[in-house]
Amino acid sequence: MNSMCVVGAGTMGRGIAYTAAINDFKVILNDVSEASLTNAREYIELTLEKSAEKGFIDPSKLYKIKENIAYTTDMEAAVSNVDIVIEAVFENIELKINIFKKLDELCPEHTILATNTSTMSPTEIGASTNRPEKCIAMHFFNPVHKMKLIEIIRGLDTSDETMQIAKQVGEKLGKETVEVNEFPGFVTSRMNCLIGNEAMNMLMEGVASAEDIDKAIKLGLNHPMGPLELADLVGLDSRLRNVEYLHRTLGEKFRPSPILVKYVKAGRLGKKSGKGFYNYNK
C-alpha cells in the first residue's frame, strides 16, 4: 500500500492527503470543485512550511513531500492506479453511494474503497459496489495530522484482509486504530454529537455564555476543547448533517439544536466561514 486517492478536498480530505504525503504515500487529491483544490493546495503547502519551521518535518524533505501530492478534478485519471481510495465528500448517503459506484467502475480490481463517514453505514455504501469485501469505513479526526485516532468500521461483507490492510494503512499514517462494530455514529460521533447538541441547547436556554460553557467543560471535566469551539472547528454544516443522520437513525435524543439549524441557515459555519459560536474575523 503506497498509493492513495482522496476524493473530496474539504476540511478532512486535505488533512488526510497532507498526512499521507508526509508519511511517504503518493497521493492524488480529487474534487469536483477547482476552488476546493486550490484552497487545499494552499492549506497543505502552508501547513508543510509551518511544520518545517517548528521542526516537525525535515526542511530538506519539503520538495519531495510536495511532489508526493497531485491535484485533479478528473476522477478517472485520479484512481486509475491506486491501492486505496479514501472518500471524504459531504455527509450525504446518496452522494457517497454514487461515488462508490463510480469508484468501483474506475478503480483497479485490488483497490480498497474506504469512506471517512462520521456516522453512516459502510454496509450500505459498500453494497452499491461489486466489491463489498473491499469496502470499509476509516473515520479520521480533525485536524488529521494532529489527531491520533482512526476508528475503523467493518461493513457486513468486509473481508478480514481488508480490515488488516486498513489497520496497516492507519499504522503507516502514524495513527492508533480502534475497531468498532457498525452502528450509526460509531463511538466518537455518537458521543460527540450528543455533548455538542446539549451545549448548544444550554447556550440557547441562557444557562451560560459560549465561553463559560466551554471553560466549564475544559476545566471541570478535563476535555481538551470545549464542545462549542470543537463544533466550530468541525464546521457547523458538517455537524448538522451528522446530527440529522443520527436523529433519523437513533431517534429523538439527537434532534438538532435549533440554534445549530439557525446558524447554518445564516451561513455561520464556524471557523471555515469566519463566524460560528465564536468570531474568527477579529
Binding site for ligand NAD (CB under 6 A): 7-13, 30-33, 36, 88-91, 95, 99, 116-118, 139-142, 234-235, 238, 242
Cα(44)–Cα(47) distance, integer angstroms: 5
In the bound state with ligand NAD, the residue whose beta carbon lies nearer, of 41 and 61, is 41
Strand partners, 113: 85, 135
Residue closer to ligand NAD, measured from CB, 68 or 117: 117
- 198: Cβ contacts below 8 Å, ≥ 6 apart: 227
Beta carbon nearer to ligand NAD, 61 or 103: 103
Residue nearest ligand NAD by beta-carbon distance: 10
| DSSP H/E element including 20 | helix 11-22
Give the integer Cα–Cα distance in Å for 146 and 32.
27
Residue written as grid cell 464542545:
227
- Strands of the 112-115 sheet, one edge to the other: 69-72, 26-30, 3-7, 84-87, 112-115, 135-139, 149-154, 176-180
Closer residue to ligand NAD (CB): 60 or 76: 76
Residue with smaller CB distance to ligand NAD, 31 or 229:
31
Q: Is 94 left (phi over 0), alpha (psi -120 to 50) or beta?
A: alpha
